Amino acid sequence: MPSTKLFKMILDDFNDEEEEEMAIAFICELLTKRRTVRHQGSISGHAYIWHDRIQEKYMRSPNKDDIARLLRGNEVRGFPGMLGSIDCMHWKWKNCPAAWKCMYVRHVHEKTIIFEAIATHDLWIWHAFFGLPESHNDINVLERSFLFTDLIEGHAPPANYSINGHDYAMAY
């Protein structure tokens, strides 16, 4: 029996929209867990290429030389102590799998995927993160960002600078 017919049979038993939404959320959760377990521990061809071929050169955290260059360049531009500017973008996900729809629908009932990135003025993207499920806004994304968490916990590269008479010892 195709899964769409099965879901239709399950959902037809509910009387109101709230119960139906809860059932859809439950089904999505089951499908996601199943998929995660099935693929756990294996690296697909695309993931292998991404990890071994692209990430090491292009999508990596800045090393000491990169940090020094970023701090110098941003200070010249009037932003002392700044490593980069983080931004989030909500992309409409036209072909979102039906089973995942409930996890990626925003408050405006559009399926979107969130892209968080830090790029330099010369377009070096040294941080990118796709895909938080559920309807998150930019603040929720930042709360889950390991970069933001590291900054809050004081794990940022050292950088001595002064803004409006206040001295700082950590890059941002």
Provide DSSP, 30-65.
HHHHHHHHHHTT---HHHHHIIIIIITTTSS---HH
| Tokens, residue 65 | 């030389």
Phi and psi at residue 115, to the nearest 5°: -115, 120
* Domain spans of the chain, in order of start: 3-39, 60-170
**Mean pLDDT computed over every residue of the chain:** 71
pLDDT range class, residue 73, cuts 50, 70, 90: very high
pLDDT range class, residue 49, cuts 50, 70, 90: very low
Q: Which residue has the higher pLDDT, 74 or 33?
A: 74
pLDDT of residue 9: 45
pLDDT of residue 46: 42
At a CB cut-off of 8 Å and minimum separation 6, what does 170 contact? 81, 151, 154, 156, 157, 158, 159
Q: Is the pTM of this model over 0.85?
A: no
- Assess whether pLDDT exceeds 70 at residue 98: yes
Q: Is 170 helix (H, G, I), strand (E, B) or coil?
A: strand
Cα torsion angle, 27, 131, 157, 57, sign: positive
Please calculate the CA angle 127-146-106 and round it to the nearest 5 degrees: 80
Q: Which of 4, 3, 7, 35 is nearest to 23 (CA)?
A: 7
